[in-house]
A and B are shown apart, each in its own frame.
Chain A
Amino acid sequence: MMSINDIQDSIIEEFAVYDEWLDKYEYLIDLGRDLPLAEEADKTEGNLIDGCQSRVWLVCRRESDGRLYFRADSDAIITKGIISLLVRIFDGQTPADILAADLYFIDAIGLKENLSPTRAGGLAAMIKRIREIAEQYGEG
């Protein structure tokens, strides 16, 4: 299992080959297409994160190894590309590691503007939800 920071570093490396924002977004769009979708049955109100302009569904389960596994989907493809990065980082991590994580990759790959609340892409809300889930399992 790679650590959260190892995964962040490899994402930063992958994005480093693109100097043009256009290529970056094309890559994100491709990632969005590849994202292992949450099952239709998982797209419930309860799994919906209020992201204002795009809808994001997040499903988490904890395995017997005590680690958390995530699936996510969105109706907007750029949002989906970005959340696929988050899923990649957090999938299979422990609640404690998730809570301790410093997400520096977002800034480093130049996607910070997607974090602002007005972007309304649900990214900030999704990170918040992941932390809440980790907190719940961390305590329990």
Chain B
Amino acid sequence: MNFPQQIRAEFPILDRRVDSRPLVYFDNAATSQRPSCVINLQQELCSGHNANIHRAVHTLSFEATGYYEAGRRAVQKFINAASADEIVLTSGATMSINLVAECLARGGFIGCGDGILLTEAEHHSNIVPWQIVCEHTGSHLEVVPVAAGRNGANDGSVDMAAFCAALQRGVRMVAINHVSNILGVENPIKEMVAAAHGAGVPVLIDGAQGIAHRRVDVQALDCDFYVFSGHKIYAPTGIGVLYAKREWQHRLPPFMGGGDMVGKVSFDKTTYADPPLKFEAGTANFVAGACLRPALEFAAKVMESPAQEAHTGRLISAMNEALASVDGLWVAASDARKRIPLWSFTIDGVHPLDAATLMDKFGVALRSGHMCAEPIVDRIGGGSMLRASLMPYNTLEEVEIFRETLLRTVKMLRK
């Protein structure tokens, strides 16, 4: 593949303009754009194969079910799960984490006095579901610090000594990000899984940010759960993945009750479907589920391309230089060794909301605020930061527009 021109051509939206200026889309960590192969399948399914899946015997339903199950198998292949039955399709990473938290609690795997280990840099989606469990069960959070901030180490690494120490304090579950949506730093999840398993504790990995930038092999990782959202890796919104190891699929009680998740229903006794359908109550978002296949096949092609790797490396260097050229700009985890193309930063004397507002008027889409990770943004960013996040379809020219625009914006706001 030719980078970035060739894949860029696959994304119609990247040609659009904002207020007559070319769009520079640097908010990919919030949602990525969709390539034509995904858009075309969405269109094709809606116009040719729309039916409820898994239920009827008519042609349309067979076809729709086939597409949906092909989506599931594409996920299995993409993350190298042992079986497609280990892939539960949900509405997104958020639902996947809520499912695991709720089912672990109801199944009695987390109870009064137990600890749930998180890092300080989790997304709200990997904090609040566990807090709800804590409220119900009398368990508590064990929060491990990360090295980020203006004073002291700023490489974004998780304090592994604190992580291992916490494992010895009655922790019954570990839920950690693969890559934080604030720091952009890859965590040593393999090591963390091994340490947790050494203490007999299961691990959920929040892969929402990791999945589009790192190849994941759940068997090699040996994690118990790995979750992500389709819309951050070229697929539509409204579809997400919960990889759960086979043994957990059987151990956990069902999540929601409804159609599709049952074996036999009577008022005396209901039996449940085999996993993964046991966790998929109600009509699924079959179009989005089916689109996982082209999206993940596209992602695999992109990620395996050496040209892409070189291009992303150049994007990262250019962004590092661009950010360093702005006076008074501070980057979270600036000393990170393993960074995805994502930077959160503050600028002295400039409110992130003002900067993002003006940058948008210049056509550059950034994120501002607490970005759904208030605890870490409060500590290192005074409650609000700016974030730029790129995908392989972004270009060095866009980085240059970003740099010039940022300098201009800062000048206007500091005047």
| Interface residues in chain A, defined as those with a beta carbon under 8 Å from any beta carbon in chain B | 21-22, 25-26, 29, 52-54, 75-79, 114, 119-121
Q: Are B353 and A25 in contact, with the CB atoms below 8 A? A: no
B368 CB-CB contact with A under 8 Å: yes
> What's the least CB distance linking A39 to chain B, in Å?
20
The proximity string for B residues 100-129 relative to A, scoring 1 for CB distances below 8 Å and 0 otherwise, is 000000000000000000000000000000
Beyond A21-B19, A77-B413, whether A120 also contacts B354 by CB under 8 A is no
Q: Residues of B contacting A52 with CB < 8 Å?
A: 369
Task: Give the distance in Å from the alpha carbon of A25 to the alpha carbon of B352 in the complex.
Answer: 16
Q: Residues of B contacting A21 with CB < 8 Å?
A: 19, 361
Q: Are B353 and A120 in contact, with the CB atoms below 8 A? A: yes
Could you name 26 residue pairs across A and B whose Cβ atoms are closer than 8 Å? A21-B19, A21-B361, A22-B361, A25-B357, A25-B361, A25-B412, A26-B412, A29-B412, A29-B413, A29-B415, A53-B353, A53-B368, A53-B369, A54-B353, A54-B384, A75-B351, A76-B351, A76-B353, A78-B353, A78-B354, A78-B357, A78-B358, A79-B354, A119-B357, A120-B369, A121-B353
Query: Looking at chain A's contact residues, is the secondary structure mostly helix, strand, loop, or mixed?
Result: helix
| B-side interface size class | 10 to 19
The proximity string for B residues 355-377 relative to A, scoring 1 for CB distances below 8 Å and 0 otherwise, is 00110010000001100000000
Q: Residues of A contacting B413 with CB < 8 Å?
A: 29, 77
Q: Are A79 and B412 in contact, with the CB atoms below 8 A? A: no
Task: Give the distance in Å from the alpha carbon of A76 to the alpha carbon of B358 in the complex.
Answer: 12
20 more A-B contacts (CB under 8 A) besides A29-B413, A53-B368?
A: A22-B361, A25-B412, A26-B412, A29-B412, A29-B415, A53-B352, A53-B353, A54-B351, A76-B351, A76-B353, A77-B351, A77-B413, A78-B357, A78-B358, A79-B353, A114-B357, A119-B357, A120-B353, A120-B369, A121-B357
Q: Residues of B contacting A78 with CB < 8 Å?
A: 353-354, 357-358
Task: Give the distance in Å from the alpha carbon of A109 to the alpha carbon of B353 in the complex.
Answer: 20
Task: Give the distance in Å from the alpha carbon of A40 to the alpha carbon of B368 in the complex.
Answer: 26
Q: Residues of A contacting B361 with CB < 8 Å?
A: 21-22, 25
> What's the least CB distance linking A12 to chain B, in Å?
20
> What's the least CB distance linking A59 to chain B, in Å?
21
> What's the least CB distance linking B18 to chain A, in Å?
11
The proximity string for B residues 60-104 relative to A, scoring 1 for CB distances below 8 Å and 0 otherwise, is 000000000000000000000000000000000000000000000
Task: Give the distance in Å from the alpha carbon of A78 to the alpha carbon of B358 in the complex.
Answer: 9
